[in-house]
Amino acid sequence: MPSILFVCLGNICRSPLAEGALRAEAARLGFDLIVDSAGTGNWHAGEAPDERAQRTALKHGVDISALRARQVTKGDFRRFTHIIALDHENLSNLRKLAPSDSTAELSLLLDHVPGREGQAVTDPWFGDEAGFEVTWDEVEAAARGLAAQLRAL
């Protein structure tokens, strides 16, 4: 069964939105997979997603309020089939953190959206609600693309 870990910096904005979007898309398709999210930093460990992220997801019918931030662990590189970074900095950090026996495939989230390969998901942290809508649109498109790719495996 595919298992996906989404990773951003603090695990309270982009990666929980991506987790929620993929969970919703998998449920819509009746596709079983394991989905989680984490941060490369530990500043927000144990915290719920940012309230703006929660409101944005809920507007789209997805409740992410029960998610809690955590930091990536070395075990994640063996536990998950795919570890997907939301931006280049976190992808670089993941490559540095990966143990030699890592089995996870690393990628950027927007690599799974035709025409958006190599791009970072918009970071809404310093903006207003509109920025979270932009991020939602990006992670939702990526969730559709990723689910289609995983089902084809």
Q: One of 8, 13, 50, 111 is an active-site residue; which one?
A: 8
Q: Is 76 a catalytic residue?
A: no
Q: Is 28 a catalytic residue?
A: no
Q: One of 70, 123, 137, 144 is an active-site residue; which one?
A: 123
Q: Is 13 a catalytic residue?
A: no
Q: Can you say how many angstroms the Cα of residue 136 is from the centroid of all Cα atoms in its chain?
A: 11
Q: One of 14, 23, 87, 111 is an active-site residue; which one?
A: 14
The answer to whether 86 and 74 have CB atoms below 8 angstroms apart is no
Q: Which amino acids are annotated catalytic?
A: 8, 14, 123
